[in-house]
């Protein structure tokens, strides 16, 4: 679900400063991650200022015009070079360089990859549309279609909150049972079986006085 709020930003196959403004209308759902900050007593004004500084910082890193910078800066801060990796859909660049201001966190948690070649920008399944409504909601529609295949709350939870690359095994959730989306097919199978049974059933014996 969190990917659905952010995929609009990553679906661009270009990497320019305008990409920093390519944001989803549903991104504010992530405000729930800021609730603990409020509960810990941080001043809302201080938080707002810090958040705006972080957001403004992310503007200039969406460009191909700036190459690698001075090594200490590249080591600590997010730069255009290491953030280009984050926007690449190349196998070696997938799920790398998550940091938005400080790249040192990726170095600490093992998700850092330096830029080796110019990334192939975009997402694994290209959107193929410039319709703003579709750009914002296509991932939400795919989530809904995935959820309709299962009637298990455990499966719904994993679809909503696990990795977007998650693959669910229907047998693992249902065994011999069939998902609800197969109901029309099950009805047709039952009707065909009924017809076959009627065709092979012997005619009733005539009644005798």
Residue 99, in any domain of the structure: yes
Same domain, 102 and 39: yes
113 CB-near residues (< 8 Å, 6+ apart): 85, 92, 93, 96, 97
Region 117-143 average pLDDT: 93
Region 135-163 average pLDDT: 87
Same domain, 104 and 52: yes
Same domain, 12 and 88: yes
Q: Are 147 and 173 in contact (CB under 8 A)?
A: no
- DSSP state at residue 7: H
Same domain, 104 and 11: yes
Region 95-123 average pLDDT: 95
Region 187-191 average pLDDT: 75
Same domain, 88 and 140: no
Same domain, 50 and 142: no
Same domain, 86 and 138: no
Same domain, 43 and 95: yes
Same domain, 141 and 97: no
Residue 126, in any domain of the structure: no
Q: Which of these three, 109, 140, 166, is where a domain ends?
A: 109
Q: Which of 3-7, 17-21, 166-170 has the lowest mean pLDDT?
A: 166-170
Examine the pLDDT at 176 and tell me if it is beyond 80: no
Range of the domain at 160: 132-191
Alpha helices in 64-151 (DSSP H): 71-76, 80-86, 104-109, 132-148
The two tokens of residue 139 are: 């991932």
Average pLDDT score, the chain: 86
What pLDDT shows up at residue 178? 53
How far is residue 172's CA from residue 160's CA, in Å, rounded to a whole number?
18
How far is residue 114's CA from residue 84's CA, in Å, rounded to a whole number?
10
Same domain, 42 and 98: yes
Q: How many domains does the chain have?
A: 2
What pLDDT shows up at residue 175? 46
Same domain, 92 and 142: no
């Amino acid at each position: 679900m969190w990917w659905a709020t952010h995929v609009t930003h990553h679906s661009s196959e270009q990497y320019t400063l305008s990409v920093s403004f390519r944001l989803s209308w549903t991104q504010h759902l992530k405000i729930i991650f800021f609730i603990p900050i409020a509960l810990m007593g941080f001043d809302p004004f201080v938080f707002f200022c810090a958040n705006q500084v972080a957001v403004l910082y992310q503007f200039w890193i969406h460009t191909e015009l700036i190459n690698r910078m001075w090594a200490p800066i590249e080591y600590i801060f997010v730069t255009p070079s290491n953030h280009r990796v984050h926007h690449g859909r190349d196998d070696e660049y997938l799920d790398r360089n998550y940091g938005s201001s400080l790249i040192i966190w990726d170095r600490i948690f093992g998700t850092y990859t330096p830029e080796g070649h110019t990334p192939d920008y975009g997402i694994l399944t290209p959107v193929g549309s410039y319709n703003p409504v579709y750009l914002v909601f296509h991932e939400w529609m795919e989530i809904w279609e995935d959820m309709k295949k299962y009637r298990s709350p455990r499966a719904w939870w994993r679809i909503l909150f696990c990795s977007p690359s998650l693959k669910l095994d229907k047998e693992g959730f249902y065994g011999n049972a069939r998902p609800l989306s197969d109901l029309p097919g099950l009805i047709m199978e039952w009707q065909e079986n009924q017809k076959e049974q009627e065709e092979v059933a012997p005619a009733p014996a005539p009644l005798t006085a």
